[in-house]
């Protein structure tokens, strides 16, 4: 029996697809060269923008069309990924060709991944997200944040090293909060702020293995544990969030030779009022403070980011703050997206999508030119010292 996985979207989806493949292979299936010769087609979807959903729908329509025209028996179609947040009823209504839905939070960490790369491996360390940025569908599609136990992660990395892998990327929606998801935000802040008095009573027992009151973030402990695996030479991680980027992590990046010095640190907007509407939990100033500390401590540092233009209500002045931040920070690369309301999110419920497509396009181009275009002469962003 043959399976074929069509993956759309981000690295989390690609990593999930490796595990879905592992699950099939554990049951004796092998990969089909094309969806045309598969018995099962698994479509791993992305819902970050309407256009991403449209691409998955287009693929499904192509499949249906091909089997109708050729008269061949149509394979079973299984839908997974972020489009599953629509719920069974709506999916079967919208996409009647779907035979089965695999909820994305059921993909899990347990199946061994089938990897194509032989040097670099993606290693998931957590699933889901508790942050509820108002524009984002992930907390709805992938559910609450769950950290994978340290032993599982380290054992997988040891296995990879034995097979000859030398580079790994630890993967999660918010890697910096690994091991802290059961702790309330207030308590998390209390635990991370060394100057605030803390008593043992403040620490929940179910987190005691992580929270040793030594001021070291669990994620930093995980980085140290995977760094100790012989054979692993390069460690990367994504995605980091600015509100969980603590001094001990900066120190670890600076002093641990195995950690790659390119850090992806999404800012989304340079305007404090937009950041507030996005529920991002930091300000332009606190983002800059993290960047400054990183630049001070980490030799050879490069930073990348994600940005959204045309968030509801984004004025010219608010966008100008983002432009100014781009020039000030000097990101090596920026993934700039035009806002698209995702049904069910807080932004969709609370705000009007009131920035026109023409304005979104213009703002997108401005940021592309500043951040991503080489040879810009005087417009090249200056690097903050
Ligand atoms: S941190 Fe925000 S943007 Fe990232 S996955 Fe979670 S809710 Fe979405």
Is the shortest distance between the CB of 12 and ligand 1 below 6 Å?
no
Query: 345 CA to middle of ligand 1, Å?
Result: 11
> What is the best residue among 132, 173, 180 to mutate for testing ligand 1's pocket, by most ligand atoms within 8 Å of CB?
173
Q: What residue's CA is closest to ligand 1, atom 1?
A: 131
Q: Which domains, ranges and CATH numbers included, belong to the chain? A: 2-106 (3.40.50.12160), 117-259 (3.30.750.210), 261-385 (3.30.750.200)
- Over residues 68-108, the pLDDT tens digits come to 999 999 999 999 999 988 888 999 999 999 999 998 777 77
Is the shortest distance between the CB of 129 and ligand 1 below 6 Å?
yes
Query: 34 CA to middle of ligand 1, Å?
Result: 33
Query: 230 CA to middle of ligand 1, Å?
Result: 33
Atom number of ligand 1 nearest to Cα 132: 7
Reported as half-sphere exposure (CB side, CA atoms, 13 A), residue 222 has a value of: 33
Tokens 């992938």, located at residue: 142
Query: 213 CA to middle of ligand 1, Å?
Result: 27
C-alpha torsion sign, points 143, 149, 152, 153: positive
Atom number of ligand 1 nearest to Cα 239: 4
- Over residues 28-61, the pLDDT tens digits come to 999 999 999 999 999 999 988 888 999 999 999 9
Q: pLDDT category, 109, cuts 50, 70, 90?
A: confident
Is the shortest distance between the CB of 131 and ligand 1 below 6 Å?
yes
DSSP 142-202: T-S-EEPPHHHHHHHHHHHHHTT--EEEEE-TTGGGTT-TTS-HHHHHHHH-TTS---GGG
Q: What residue's CA is closest to ligand 1, atom 8?
A: 136
Is the shortest distance between the CB of 77 and ligand 1 below 6 Å?
no
Query: 137 CA to middle of ligand 1, Å?
Result: 8
Q: Which has more pLDDT, 224 or 348?
A: 224
4-30 burial, b if ≥16 CB within 10 A, otherwise e? Answer: bbbbbbbebbbbbbbbbbbbbeeeebe
- This prediction has a pTM of 0.85
- Over residues 325-365, the pLDDT tens digits come to 999 999 999 999 999 999 888 888 889 999 999 999 999 99
Is the shortest distance between the CB of 10 and ligand 1 below 6 Å?
no
How many Å separate Cα 48 from the centre of its chain? 11
Reported as half-sphere exposure (CB side, CA atoms, 13 A), residue 254 has a value of: 12
Nearest of 126, 78, 76, 136 to residue 103 by alpha carbon: 78
Beta bridge partners of 120: 167
Using an 8 Å Cβ cutoff, are 383 and 331 in contact?
no
Query: 66 CA to middle of ligand 1, Å?
Result: 37
Is the shortest distance between the CB of 132 and ligand 1 below 6 Å?
yes
């Amino acid at each position: 029996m043959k399976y074929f996985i069509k993956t759309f979207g981000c690295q989390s989806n690609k990593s999930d697809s490796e595990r879905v493949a592992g699950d099939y292979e554990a049951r004796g299936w092998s990969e089909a060269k094309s969806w045309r010769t598969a018995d099962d087609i698994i479509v791993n979807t992305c819902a970050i923008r309407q256009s991403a959903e449209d691409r998955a729908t287009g693929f499904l329509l192509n499949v249906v069309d091909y089997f109708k025209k050729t008269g061949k028996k149509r394979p079973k179609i299984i839908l997974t990924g972020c489009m599953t947040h629509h719920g069974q009823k709506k999916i079967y209504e919208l996409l009647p060709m779907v035979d089965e839905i695999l909820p994305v939070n059921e993909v899990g960490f347990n199946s061994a991944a089938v990897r194509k790369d032989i040097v670099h491996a993606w290693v998931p360390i957590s699933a889901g997200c508790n942050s509820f940025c108002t524009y984002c569908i992930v907390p709805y599609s992938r559910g609450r944040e769950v950290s994978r136990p340290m032993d599982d992660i380290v054992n997988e990395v040891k296995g990879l090293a034995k097979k000859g892998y030398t580079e790994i990327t630890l993967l999660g929606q918010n890697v910096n909060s690994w091991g802290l998801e059961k702790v309330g935000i207030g308590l998390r802040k209390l635990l991370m702020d060394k100057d605030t008095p803390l008593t043992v009573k403040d620490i929940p027992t179910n987190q005691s293995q992580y929270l040793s009151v030594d001021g070291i973030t669990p994620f930093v402990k995980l980085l140290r544990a995977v760094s100790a695996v012989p054979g692993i030479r390069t460690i990367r991680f994504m995605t980091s969030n600015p509100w969980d980027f603590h001094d001990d992590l900066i120190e670890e990046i600076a002093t641990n030779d195995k950690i790659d010095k390119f850090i992806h640190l999404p800012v989304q907007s340079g305007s404090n009022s937009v950041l507030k509407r996005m529920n991002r939990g930091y300000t332009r100033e606190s983002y800059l403070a993290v960047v400054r500390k990183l630049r001070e401590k980490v030799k050879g540092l490069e930073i990348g980011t994600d940005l959204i233009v045309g968030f509801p209500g984004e004025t010219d002045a608010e966008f100008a703050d983002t432009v100014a931040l781009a020039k000030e920070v000097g990101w090596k690369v920026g993934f700039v997206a035009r806002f698209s309301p995702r049904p069910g999110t807080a932004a969709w419920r609370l705000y009007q999508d009131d920035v026109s497509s023409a304005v979104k396009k213009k703002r997108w181009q401005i940021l592309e030119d500043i951040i991503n275009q080489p040879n810009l002469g005087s417009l090249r962003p200056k690097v903050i010292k």
